[in-house]
Copies of this chain bind each other. A is one copy, B any other.
């Protein structure tokens, strides 16, 4: 795309057409500046097919805030809207609406509360709540979902990979398979969720995390095409990067050529006083090759050399590799725990595209409208009861049980005060037979999750650096029950409504079902 076109495609018109036609309708009805509240939440944890997530890691807010701060209808945008024609050949957008947009077509009237990035979050819990003039809050739907769905999806996938890697480094490698520019957002999600580094240069720099990378097959190929050999390529690399020498050993033959050549070059490095970093395996049976390579490296006195694995890794493949090493490596005379500890995982395609579940189903729904000072709750009844909204202006509290573990997220109306209640009545969002009561003695802590982010157009929230968000995630993960963290068939975390919210919802459902 040409730079000039990017302003059009990525600015305020980075939204769906129906947001604009609805905004004009609200304008025509005179309700466009009425305060509205929209909830953003996802309905289902990512399901990767053979396995599924039991929690998500929230991400994407900081970049959404950057977009909100800059987006507004400019003359070029309005000129385009002015040119749009109906089937009947009439202008779709009227001049009075366009002139309202010229003056008010920005997010200066919006307030936004959110659960901070890096926190563990759950299905059907509002992660973001937007309050503001109906027309502009409506236009915000598409970009908000676009910014938040994807980073949360990737942070969640990264958390799974991180968990299975048992403290070993995870390096994000996926730029070439990412969805075009989205790859940069994917790197951010990955770094928040559990990747230690990324190979992507520019975005790593922007995020303050140094990029990682060594060499590809092409380097060895280039030497060979010019009449040289694999070891000459390795030697040249070691000479130039004596402190960062990590060699890709599978261009010719891993065990017969790559590893022996790497060991010779490592020995030369050692004689010159440098410690080699290790080798990378990028094809074949990675567990088998890791065991055999470790054996050869150990025998040559390079027991500290790292073994980077790459090629189609995801959390299940890594799990499988570790299991295979635990079963087979002792037979080869290699200590399985030591080997697992020296592994580093380069994870590409599966992480950056969240393969198996390539989208998070986050939605943004109108839940309340204010008239004359009162908030009127809004609802949508769906063909499927699970999709019926939780109406009204709400707060979310996290309940920690006596063990200190997070046990439920509790949605109540904004004017409720759970810490003041003697008994908390937890209702399942749709199944009226599922009730639970918590007394104060059952609860070690009650924590409100939504914080003020934008107040009347002014940002009052500091998004934090990547490392802050990572720490937040680590803390939340420690509070999770291990059943919720299981890779396969995780325990379903409780998300409950307060009695007051549940009753409001039932009342609105009956009202809406009455014939007009």
A147 within 8 A of B: yes
User: How close is A264's CB to chain B, nearest CB, in angstroms?
Assistant: 10
Q: Name A66's contact: one of B1, B236, B242 (CB within 8 Å).
A: B1
- Complex formed: what's the CA distance from A185 to B181 in Å? 8
Chain B residues within an 8 Å CB radius of A210: 84
12 pairs, A vs B, C-beta closer than 8 Å: A3-B66, A5-B206, A8-B205, A10-B181, A14-B184, A16-B201, A18-B199, A34-B226, A180-B184, A252-B512, A349-B361, A352-B359
**Contact A378–B225 (Cβ < 8 Å):** yes
With A250-B382, A283-B382, A284-B383 already in contact, the answer to whether A16 and B200 are too (CB < 8 A) is yes
**Contact A178–B199 (Cβ < 8 Å):** no
A217 within 8 A of B: yes
Count A-side interface residues using an 8 Å CB cutoff. 140
Give the residues from 243 to 270 in chain A that come closer than 8 angstroms, CB to CB, to chain B: 243-244, 250-254, 256-257, 261
With A70-B3, A179-B182, A355-B359 already in contact, the answer to whether A25 and B377 are too (CB < 8 A) is no
A369 within 8 A of B: yes
A241 within 8 A of B: yes
Mark A134-152 against chain B: 1 for CB-CB distance below 8 A, else 0.
1000100110011101110
Mark A169-189 against chain B: 1 for CB-CB distance below 8 A, else 0.
000010111111111111000
Mark A340-375 against chain B: 1 for CB-CB distance below 8 A, else 0.
000000000100111100111110111011010000
- Complex formed: what's the CA distance from A236 to B32 in Å? 14
- Complex formed: what's the CA distance from A84 to B204 in Å? 12
**Contact B90–A225 (Cβ < 8 Å):** no
Chain B residues within an 8 Å CB radius of A261: 516
With A177-B359, A201-B15, A243-B88 already in contact, the answer to whether A222 and B382 are too (CB < 8 A) is no
Q: Name A215's contact: one of B12, B18, B382 (CB within 8 Å).
A: B18
**Contact A206–B8 (Cβ < 8 Å):** yes
Give the residues from 262 to 291 in chain A that come closer than 8 angstroms, CB to CB, to chain B: 274, 277, 283-284
A434 within 8 A of B: no
Chain B residues within an 8 Å CB radius of A251: 380-381
A63 within 8 A of B: yes
Name, among A5, A84, A179, the residue most crowded by chain B CB atoms within 10 Å (CB to CB).
A179
**Contact B18–A214 (Cβ < 8 Å):** yes
Q: Name A179's contact: one of B25, B185, B384, B516 (CB within 8 Å).
A: B185
**Contact A218–B366 (Cβ < 8 Å):** yes
A29 within 8 A of B: yes
A13 within 8 A of B: yes
User: How close is A368's CB to chain B, nearest CB, in angstroms?
Assistant: 7
**Contact A9–B87 (Cβ < 8 Å):** no
User: Given A14-B202, A49-B49, list of 5 further CB < 8 A pairs?
Assistant: A1-B66, A12-B202, A31-B222, A225-B377, A229-B516
Chain B residues within an 8 Å CB radius of A134: 222
Chain B residues within an 8 Å CB radius of A515: 256-257
